[in-house]
Amino acid sequence: MLALFIGFYGLISQAVFIWVAFGFVSVLTFCYALPFGAKMGLRFVPTVKVFVVALCWTVFVTVNLTALPNNLFVLVSIKALLWMICLILPFDLRDLQKDEKALKTLPQLLGVNGVKLLGCILIGFTAFLAFKTVAVAVLLWVEWGMLLLLAIALYCASPKRSPLFTSFWVEGIPILWFVGSVFALIFG
């Protein structure tokens, strides 16, 4: 009960921009997660699924960074969006056999190798944005290391691979990134 009170208080004390951002993400999530009928909703719009999920996560991740200068905020937001897309790609590859052809997911449109190439290009661009946005050198090296791990995970991803691969190894990358960043700041 206390957690609900603290959460409600934290929510009502936010700026209008935060409310707008959460409202936007809530509408997107509702339209994605709760289809209005058979085969309706954003999850069934061809090719859009990965971008809706990535955009929702990006808004949640970057909404508290609005105090940054505008140009840095935009770069960090783009970097976060690219990170999210790259983190979703191994899951799309895993689900290639299960997804309906009408969804036209990126693996269905580009093929397995095309998605891996696209992912590597996006990871390269993300690494460049990291260079432009990370001010602490040791944190830059940690982020580059995590991007390298993500590239390896994407390379190893396959529709034939066990679901545990993506559920454990790919989802573990952000956790490892956090732990690595904390250790780098403490001991670096």
- Write out the residue range of the structural domain in which residue 98 sits: 2-187
Terminal-to-terminal C-alpha distance of the chain: 40
pLDDT per residue, tens digit, the chain (188 aa), is: 787 788 778 777 777 888 888 888 888 888 887 766 666 777 777 788 889 889 988 998 888 888 889 899 999 999 999 999 999 999 999 988 888 888 888 999 999 999 999 999 999 999 999 999 999 999 999 999 999 999 999 999 988 888 888 888 888 999 999 999 999 999 87
One DSSP character per residue, 94-116 reads HTTTTS-GGG--HHHHHHHHHHH
φ, ψ at 24 (rounded to 5°): -60, -50
Question: Rounded to two decimals, what is the model's pTM?
Answer: 0.87
How many domains are there within the chain? 1
